[in-house]
Structure 1
Amino acid sequence: MTLTIPTAPFLDQKPGTSGLRKKVRVFQQPHYAENFVQSVFDVLDNFDGQTLVLGGDGRFLNREVIQTAIRMAAANGFGRVLVGLGGILSTPAASNVIRKYGAFGGLILSASHNPGGPDEDFGIKYNIGNGGPAPEKITDAIYARSTVIDRYMTVDAPDINLDRLGETQVSGMTVAVIDPVTDYAELMEQLFDFGAIRELIAGGFRLSFDAMHAVTGPYAHEILERRLGAPAGTVVNGTPLPDFGGHHPDPNMVHAHELFDQMFGPNAPDFGAASDGDGDRNLILGRNIFVTPSDSLAALAANAHLAPGYASGITGIARSMPTSGAADRVAHALGLPLHETPTGWKFFGNLLDAGMATICGEESAGTGSDHVREKDGLWAVLLWLNILAVRRESVAAIMAGHWKRFGRNYYARHDYEGLESIAAERLMNELRVALPALPGRTTASLTVAPADEFEYLDPVDGSLSRAQGLRLLFEGGARIVFRLSGTGTSGATLRVYLERYEGTDGILDAETAAALADLVAAADALAGITRHTGRTAPTVIT
């Protein structure tokens, strides 16, 4: 029996770059999660009898919201729901399941790299039938609906057993608990030379993968240890926990410091990697070297042909605007188109669907390809392993050779987290107003050339996305980008991106901090970071 429950709108349900993210306590308010899920269903058309994919990264509240969403899907007319075993479903695996089984779309319950637990973060996002995040026209419609919603629909049915494979009926709708790990592993075997990687590992190559007690643990155990033969213990923190073991599942030098210490310590493994809360980000380390996400994107694009799935070449490279221009150098050298998009994986979907790009990436540790429509942490790890298995060089040697061929984009992102929202907005607005007068101004030995606010005209559907970041370009090619993040749940995060290019005959082994020191000074002088925020240093540097 379908139940119609009266409700009133919440006015804070505007999705960010990756769905709706709030504190758990916010989602625990009566009707809050239900309102958002119903708003998603209300703006979709023609899904009667169709399949919905459902799962999340296992964080606190994951199971409860899955049960709620199942009952609501039944009430709204879906014919089938596919749920990951235990309610666990990585974001790239969700994209794969949507595509493999021809689902109408999917709800992914995750706040990605944000911390989990009863006092931390939760999130919901909707992915469309191509497996990718909903485009802005859909998320805008969801938000508009959420501001006027007055009812949601559900059914009176007991919870289903999420820990047993098989099918259950919920008010005439079939719910199938599936094993997404096997589906995902089989896809990876189609893309990469598992035999070559097994031979590399059997020959003494050592690796360490930190799953950060997040969703990639089961996937990494299956692929790295069982299918590729890495010894037990290669995957650490491999059991997903609702609070991620009390840690912050963001793969960077602050939150994955134990892996950094291992890779820069005595008797380090040959290769180190980590992934985040929902499995779509990656961290790549070699012995005594950290490969920045921007450099990793460029190196993967330059070497993708070494993996069977990309042996015939790639059609193009896409990167988000704040990501460094390292991939641009590769695209130019290989005669490939380079697409510069706003931040947010949803902007890559049209390019991938149209065959205009094969490899995509963002500076925020997300890399992927046209095998799914999400960034994919383990995919990046496996492509690196395939490259290492073929080239039989160290990570450091591969990157040194890459810079010698293409030059080096020294690059860093400075995050100022937990800022007062008013102060952060004031900084951005003041800088926005100042942009027209900045060209020609010199500070910290740098002279501003063009300065603008980035906007993106989608070459596939013609949609225009404005206000995507403030860019200051300098004579000689250096640049600074300022953005407010859309991935947090409290306060504001100011992201400052710093970049300088060094040609192939320049200094390619400098310390990044030294190479960017004058840009750090220029950023504060031109935007007034300390003056507006009171901060004299960023919270996190990546």
Structure 2
Amino acid sequence: MSKTIATTAFAGQRPGTSGLRKKVTVFQQPHYLENFVQAIFDSVPELNGGVLVVGGDGRYYNRTAIQTILKMAAANGVAKVLVGKGGILSTPAASCVIRKYGAVGGIVLSASHNPGGPDGDFGIKYNISNGGPAPEAVTEAIYARTQTITEYQLADAADYNLDTLGEGELAGMQVVVLDSVLDYSELMASLFDFAAIRAWFAAGHTMRFDSLSAVSGPYAKHIIEGVLGAPAGTVVNGEPLEDFGGHHPDPNPAHAHELMEAMFAADAPDLGAASDGDADRNMIVGKKLAVTPSDSLAIMAANATLIPGYKDGLAGVARSMPTSQAVDVVAKALGIESFETPTGWKFFGNLLDANRATLCGEESYGTSSNHVREKDGVWAVLFWLNLLAATGKSVTELVSAHWARFGRHFYSRHDFEGLDTDAANGLMEHLRGLLGGLAGQKLHGLTVKLADDFAYTDPIDGSVSEKQGIRVLFEDGSRVVYRLSGTGTEGATLRVYLERYVADTAGHGEDTQSALAALITISRELAQIAERTGRLQPTVVT
């Protein structure tokens, strides 16, 4: 038996680059979650009679939301739901399960790297049948429906037991509780040389994987400590907690304090790694060296044929526009295509589906390949483990060799968080007003070659995405990029990306912020950041 419940629309339910993200307290409002979920069912009619995957990163409100979604799925005619045990599904594992079992799509509950807990953030997004985030045509249809919704459907049923593996029924709908760790581990074993990695650990090499009390823990423990034989305790903070144990689940040097301290100590392990709230991001750290995500992507591309799953080479590579151009240099050397897309993993999906790209990545600690349609933190760590095992080199040796061959792209991102939204929008409009007159100007010794508001035409379906970030490109290859983030839940976040290319190895040892000093000054003066926002320094530097 199902009920039809009257409701009224909520303003502001437009999905961002990674779904709808708000404070937990917003989602806890009566009808708020239900409206958005009903909008998904109304916008994707194929779900009626189809298979749906449901799961999340285990943050606060995850279990409650899943029970609501299951009852709504039953009331909306879904034939079968595959749900992660305990409501747990990492984002890349959700993509894996959607693809493996031929689901129509999946509802993924995550706010990724945003803080958790009762006062933290919550998020929901819809992934399509290829396992990737819904494209803009679908998310816009969902948003449009949220603005006109007047009722939703809910099965009158008891909560379902999410903690017991196996099949059951909820209001006539088949429910399968599965252990997604096993499906995901099977996929990883098909890509990497697990025997070589086992031998690397057996030879006495060590690593530290910090799951930040988030969802990567079960996956990392099973594969790294279980299948690959790393010593117990290699994975730390490996139990997913609703508030991430107070950790900020964002794998970067500014937030993963314990890992950075361990990797800069005298007895540092050979490899350090961290993942985020939903296990789709990764950070790679060597002894006293944090590898930038842009460099990580480029190094993986340059060495991909050492990995069994990529031994035949890459069809192409893709990066988000703000990500450094390091992988472009590799692609040119390999004679393969490289693509520059807007920020948001959904923009890689068409390239992967069309086999125009094999590896892709974003500067925000996201890297992945065509094995799923999401970024994948554990996969990236296994890729690096395989490289270390295959080459016999250390992280630092791999990075140094890469810079010597391809040059170094000094790179940093400066985030100004929690800005007044009107002030942030005004700053971007100010920059747009400058674009027409910047070319040819000399700024602190650097000549502007091009300034624009990045627009992208998808080479597969021809769709156009405009106003994707303001770029100021200089004649020496340096860049300053400005974007307002779409992943926050309070105020506005201005992200400023800085990049400078240095070919000569003699200059590769310079401190990153020193190497970028002129660009930092240019970026702040050009945008009038202090005058318009009142901020003299960024909140976070990565």
Name the amino acid aligned to 1:465. Answer: S
Equivalent position of 2:189 in the other structure: 189
SS at match of 2:355: coil
Partners of 1:107 and 1:92 in 2: CA distance:
13
Matched, 1:150 2:150: yes
Larger displacement relative to structure 2 (216-225 or 45-54): 45-54
Name the amino acid aligned to 2:171. Answer: S
What are the residue-to-residue correspondences of 1:230-245 with 2, within 5 Å? 230-245=230-245
CA RMSD of aligned residues (A): 0.8
Name the amino acid aligned to 1:33. Answer: L
Shift in Å at residue 398 of structure 1?
0.5
Matched, 1:105 2:102: no
Equivalent position of 2:435 in the other structure: 435
Equivalent position of 2:385 in the other structure: 385
Equivalent position of 2:285 in the other structure: 285
Equivalent position of 1:367 in the other structure: 367
What are the residue-to-residue correspondences of 1:51-450 with 2, within 5 Å? 51-450=51-450
Partners of 1:524 and 1:133 in 2: CA distance:
34
Partners of 2:436 and 2:191 in 1: CA distance:
48
Name the amino acid aligned to 1:348. Answer: F
Partners of 1:476 and 1:406 in 2: CA distance:
16
Partners of 1:124 and 1:420 in 2: CA distance:
25
Shift in Å at residue 314 of structure 1?
0.9
Partners of 2:265 and 2:513 in 1: CA distance:
21
Partners of 1:12 and 1:523 in 2: CA distance:
31
Shift in Å at residue 506 of structure 1?
5.1
Partners of 2:483 and 2:164 in 1: CA distance:
44
Partners of 1:306 and 1:328 in 2: CA distance:
20
TM-score, L = length of structure 1:
0.99
The C-alpha deviation readout for 1:483-502, integer Å capped at 9, x for no partner, is 00000011110000000111
Name the amino acid aligned to 1:183. Answer: D
Matched, 1:494 2:491: no
Partners of 2:237 and 2:304 in 1: CA distance:
29
Name the amino acid aligned to 1:347. Answer: F
Partners of 1:48 and 1:153 in 2: CA distance:
13
Equivalent position of 1:18 in the other structure: 18
Partners of 2:144 and 2:432 in 1: CA distance:
27
What are the residue-to-residue correspondences of 1:449-464 with 2, within 5 Å? 449-464=449-464
Q: Is the CA contact 1:446–1:522 (under 8 Å) kept in the aligned structure 2? A: no
Partners of 1:388 and 1:347 in 2: CA distance:
30
Shift in Å at residue 246 of structure 1?
1.3
SS at match of 2:47: coil
Shift in Å at residue 429 of structure 1?
0.6
Partners of 1:296 and 1:516 in 2: CA distance:
20
Equivalent position of 2:4 in the other structure: 4
The C-alpha deviation readout for 1:428-451, integer Å capped at 9, x for no partner, is 011111111112222222222210
Shift in Å at residue 131 of structure 1?
0.1
Where in structure 2 are there 5+ consecutive unaligned residues? none
Shift in Å at residue 422 of structure 1?
0.9
Q: Is the CA contact 1:273–1:283 (under 8 Å) kept in the aligned structure 2? A: yes
Q: Is the CA contact 2:270–2:287 (under 8 Å) kept in the aligned structure 1? A: yes
Name the amino acid aligned to 1:305. Answer: T
Q: Percent identity?
A: 63
Partners of 1:315 and 1:448 in 2: CA distance:
33
Q: Is the CA contact 1:273–1:282 (under 8 Å) kept in the aligned structure 2? A: yes
Shift in Å at residue 505 of structure 1?
5.1
Name the amino acid aligned to 1:321. Answer: M
SS at match of 2:414: strand
Name the amino acid aligned to 2:471. Answer: R
- The runs of at least 4 consecutive aligned structure 1 residues that moved more than 6 Å come to none
Partners of 1:220 and 1:47 in 2: CA distance:
32
Shift in Å at residue 110 of structure 1?
0.3
SS at match of 2:507: coil
Partners of 2:169 and 2:504 in 1: CA distance:
63
SS at match of 1:41: helix
Partners of 2:344 and 2:255 in 1: CA distance:
22
SS at match of 2:333: helix
Larger displacement relative to structure 2 (422-431 or 38-47): 38-47
Shift in Å at residue 255 of structure 1?
1.1
What are the residue-to-residue correspondences of 1:472-511 with 2, within 5 Å? 472-504=472-504, 507-511=507-511
Aligned residues, how many?
A: 542
Name the amino acid aligned to 1:378. Answer: V
Equivalent position of 1:513 in the other structure: 513
